[in-house]
Amino acid sequence: GGEEVQAVSWAMSVAPALSRVRSAGRADRSRERPRSRRPMAREDFGFQRRKGRGPRQQPTVASVRDDREPEPGDRVPEGVFAGMLKADRRVSRAIHDAVLDRGAVPRWALEALERAGSGLIWFPGSLAALGVAFGSRTSSPQAFWVLSNFMAGLVLDVLIVGTVKGAFRRRRPNYTGEENGGYKTIIKVDSFSFPSGHTSRSAFVALFLLLVAGGGGGAGPIAAVVWALATAASRVALGRHYASDVAAGMVAAALNVALLTKGHFSAPYFVLEKALLGL
């Protein structure tokens, strides 16, 4: 009986010491392996978690999304498609070098085309013109109808281009080592390259003027077509886009006009009908 009492007494005296040892061990391990917490980054979304192995990012098609070198886990296109992408980058760089580096066209002229195709000019200017036309819609209903559909086309252009840019997320060419090749963007989606927004906007303006003119000539529509083609070429020459981005911008403009005219490519079929506008 006395030995049992001594054993229990000894265990009770040792227990606090063992508890302190275990606590110190846990503290040492926590110092050795500090837990780091970081905010959720955008890249975290879309990860697939494998049980017990942490997050794994879905492989991306590197050569489609940007011009970086493939990384482990990337699905690299092969065959004809890969050759087309390489040719696209090679031709785009050759155009840039021939025009800018060799001085075939002055840089100021290319940048003037860039400013002329900017949405910062077209949206405020079109809204101002639409406001004036709205005030005189009774005496000039045709002008208000045309400008209303033109404004709708500009908005539709942004929606089409922004959606495709966000889906492909292709990086712009970078021949200078600066972010986005030195191009100043306004919103995040502008930092992506495919398709070219300047090209789609200028091509839409040219196509719209052709529609309003009934498909005929005239100084205005012809000048707009020349301006649209020059803007498209300048985007590659300045190193803002690849040639395929420019081609896709033209396709986006055609899609825009198709939606705006309900597939008829004719002004009488504009989606904003005169009756809808109360004219």
For every residue of 18-54, DSSP letters joined together read HHHHHHHHHHHHHHHS-----PPPGGGTT-EEETTTE
264 is catalytic: no
| Residue whose pair of structure tokens reads 């229990």 in the numeric block | 8
Q: Give the C-alpha separation, 56 to 53, whole Å.
A: 8
198 is catalytic: yes
Do 125 and 147 contact (CB within 8 A), yes or no? no
Name the residue among 58, 37, 59, 36 with its Cα closest to residue 49.
58
Catalytic residue among 165, 170, 172, 198: 198
- State how far the alpha carbon of 139 is from the alpha carbons of 232, 237, 278, in Å: 38, 45, 13
Do 220 and 209 contact (CB within 8 A), yes or no? yes
Catalytic residue among 137, 201, 235, 241: 241
CA angle 128/203/190 to nearest 5° reads 75
Active site residues: 198, 241
